[in-house]
Amino acid sequence: MAWYTSIYDTLEDIKQKIIDEYMAKGLKASGDFERNIKIGRQGRYKVVLTLPYYSEFISKFKSNEGGRRPTGPEGTPPQAVIEKWIRDKGLSLRDLSTGRFRKRTQTSIKQAAFLIKRKIQVEGTDIYLKKREPIDLDQITDNVFDYKMEEIADRILQELNI
């Protein structure tokens, strides 16, 4: 049980550091991301950290550089997801012809979501374009594991009475 607790605590630290970096980069919208990071057991011995599916678009890990690359119409998020993001983020909408802010109506949100969707189809996201930094999961895990591995080794040695 002591090993499970150590690994669980390590994954809790990684989870918290991911959330901290997510907040620091201003990526928070609805709070779904941080609520959907789960730690649990898989089988009898495995303890796993599961990130929401869309984390691949805001983080980099291993060879994935992060962001959504230009994909054309078949690879973009559904417009409803973008509309929800606009609402959750509380974005102000500006009329390009007048330069004035528009009232946030269902129609204006749909129009803005369509334009954002088209931009993603053609150019990719800001993280893909390197205009914004992704959450660096490699760096987070490396830092936590470097710190925790010594602690885990000490616990193992204590259990083995060495």
Distance, first Cα to last Cα, the chain: 18
Tens of pLDDT, residue by residue over 94-133, are 888 888 988 889 999 999 999 999 998 899 888 888 898 8
**CB 112, CB 91: distance < 8 Å:** yes
Which element (helix H / strand E) includes 94? strand 93-94
Quick one: pLDDT at residue 1? 47
pLDDT at 153 over 90: no
Give how far Cα 3 sits from Cα of 44, 144, 151, 157, Å.
13, 16, 11, 11
DSSP assignment of 118-137: HHHHHT--TTTTTSSPPEEH
Here the tokens at position 36 are: 């959907």
